[in-house]
Each structure stands twice: as structure tokens, then as C-alpha cells.
Structure 1
Amino acid sequence: MSRYQRLVGAGAALLLTLGLTACSEDAEEPTTTETPAAEETEEAAEPAAEGQPAWANPIAEGGDVVATVDLGDDRSLEVRQMSVETATTTGNFVDPENNEPIVDEGDDVVYVNYVLTNGGDPIDLGSSIFSVDARYDDWPYMQGMDGITDSELTESLGLYTSGVATGQMADPTVYTLGTGESVAIGENFLYQEDSPISFDVSMTPVDAEGELLSDERIEAEGTGTIS
């Protein structure tokens, strides 16, 4: 995919510094060197399109399908590679061995969109909707992959880091994904061309009060290649 598929936009970013440790048999958990600050607040989105719940952010069109994860009960999550962009700031993690950022300003980052589609019965979800842990097969660190925080750039690509639109927070936090409806969450991480990658997906339904039904937690994995 060409890195020129971007829409115009770049903005200020937030630097979070966390330690990472290279994977090995005796590797220790990374240490936190700074308390993460809250991510920039996204501007209110356009109303959700047909086929989406009223509480959801709109789903960006296009992208190349990297993987499709079967979540059972006619539900699936599609991973779409949207764009390769130049990092506008350093990433969120540093390697403690050399104190260098995993993603430096000017590096390439790839933006992906995770699109969850419910073909089964309506399901009530919490505010996180679902979560995805993406990792290259050769990713050398114990924690997840690193990317940048740049809300303006993310939104310029039509992506959102939350499935719930601004101003649509429910109380209790119950978000019903109806039959035939979809919701999406975007993210970015360090770009590695032609790299095999896996996606661990989890989704936990909630009850009428928004409490997690942990015994009904859904987990699945998909694989693909970032091109």
C-alpha cells in the first residue's frame, strides 16, 4: 500500500515514556518510567451511517484486508490496512537497553482499522467494545507494539481510537451492537513491510448494569501479513 493514501493532516502528539525489555527466557517485565497522560480528546464525529449503531463513530471506507477473525455466532472482526504514514513524533515506549524510542519521529507507522460486524443476535458490550493485541511474529518485546499518539492525523484518515462517538457515552455503559451492525476502532504501530502478524481479539459482553460477564468472554486469533 502506498504511503500517499493519507488525507491531509498532521498535528501535535503526546509523548509517553514506558520501558520495554527484549524478550528472552529470563526477561523481566518492563518498568513504567512515567505515568501515562490521557490521550487527546477527539472531536465530535459525524452521525453513524446505516448499518452502524447510533452510538458508534463512522467507519472509514477502503483499506486492504489483512486478516478476518472469526468470533463465533456469525460475528467477525476484519483487519484493514489503511495507510502508511510518517511518524510526527516519537512513540510511547523506549528500549531500556539503549534508551532509544521504539518509534522515532520520521519512522514509518502503519494505520489499521479493526471492523467488528455482528451477523448474529444483538450483543451488549462495554465501553471498550473489543480489544486487539497485534504483534509481528518477530516482535522482540514483551509488551505490545509501539505507535504514536496523534489524534489529528488519526482523524484525518477517518479513523477513531474509540468505537463510541464523542457525546454518546451511555449510563450505564451498555452499547448494543445489533444484528447486521458494525463498529470500528483504529490504531497505528511501527511499520514493517511484508511482515507476518497475529491479532489476538477479545470481547466481553455486559449485563443490563454494564457489568462485565467474564464467563461469556469471547477470544479468537487471526493471522495475516502487513504489506
Structure 2
Amino acid sequence: MTAVAPAAVRPDGSRQWSRTLLGWLEWLAHPVLAGLAFAVLCVGVVTWLPALAATAHALRAWRTDGETRTFTGVFRAFGTYLRPLLPHAVASSAGLALLVVDVVFLTGRTGPAAVVLVLLALGLLLVAVPYHLALAVVAGAHPEGTARGWVGDALWFAFGSVARGTALLGAVVATPVFSLVVPAGPLLLCASVPVLVGLVILDQTVAPDTTVTPDRTDPTEDA
């Protein structure tokens, strides 16, 4: 009987290890599938913002409701965000393209004015990154809202707390680097992982009884 006891323990340990491994694989597979759907929807170029919001919606459904059809979920949610967010996406695309052109043009110039303008353009680009990520996260979490409401909540979510804004920006910057270990990782994860980080942060800052507007009492602001 003493020889049977270790054999009885091993299957339990093996099953626990298998469950842990499957859990980690699930946390990789669903962002990859959502990122693939996002990449397909971005073929339209200016559709990137509605696609990002749809990605956030599908990933939130997976996290909160256990919905495992994340790839098709992005496509199903895309129609909800296309009309309200497309004008914003067109304007943002034009503005971001103009800023990039300005930076490229001014880097070949000399003088204090050129340096100031380059720094200003880079600053606007850095501000745009957490804002648009926050906009997609808020819209994905609250599909019943309006474009105006999403914009207001995104401004608060991205810039109402230094910690939140830094975390959102850091997620966007760090993801392409850390995703290099995954084949085609930067393509498949550069959107879905920052969105997932944003959803986790949003869950920590929204009161349980709110429906559209996040709770403005952020515990990080008291520190």
C-alpha cells in the first residue's frame, strides 16, 4: 500500500499542471485570435478605430462572460462601432499622418524652431496613443453608449490619472517588444494585448453599479 500512494498523487499533480498550462494557452490564444480579426478589419485603413473597439468588446466578453468565440466576436461587434467611430477614425488618421509627416520633415532641419516643433509633434503623438486606446476600451466595454460619451470617458480614463495614462502608453510601447517571442507576435498582439491591459485597468476603476460613465473616485488619485 505504501507503493500505491505516490501513484495516486501523480495524476492529480499532472492534471493540475495541465489545467495551468491550458489556462496560460487560453490567455495567449484569445488575444491572438482577436488580434488576427483586428488585422483583417484594418485592411480598410481608416477602420482601425472601430476595429480596435470591436476587439475590446470581444475580449471583454471573453473575460467576463466566458465567450470563447473571440475571432468571430470581433467581426460581430464591428458593425456596432463602424458608424459612430468612423468619422473620428478618419479625422484621427489624417491628424496622425500629418504629425508623422511633420516629424520626418522637421528632423532634417536645424535651428531651435525646428527642435521645438519636432518635440511638440512627438508630444502630440504620445498623447494620442493612450487616448485612442482608452477610447477603444471604453467603447468596447459600453457598446450602448454614444460617440460623444465615449470620447468624454476616454479623456478621463487616459488622462484623469498619471498612473493609468502611463500604464496604457507603456502597454502599447512594450507589447511589440515582448511579443517577438511569438511567431508574427507584433502583428497579432500589438493591438489586442494593450486593449486587454486597458480592460483590466478599467475593471479596477469602474464602480460595480455604473453602466456607462466610469466612477470618478479613482483610488490612485488619493495617493
Q: More strand by proportion, 1 or 2?
A: 1
TM range (shorter): under 0.3
If you compute each CA radius of gyration, which structure gives the higher value, 1 or 2? 2
Q: How does the TM-score come out when normalised to structure 1? A: 0.23
Between 1 and 2, higher relative CO (CA 8 Å, sep ≥ 6) is seen in: 1
Q: How does the TM-score come out when normalised to structure 2? A: 0.24
Q: More helix by proportion, 1 or 2?
A: 2
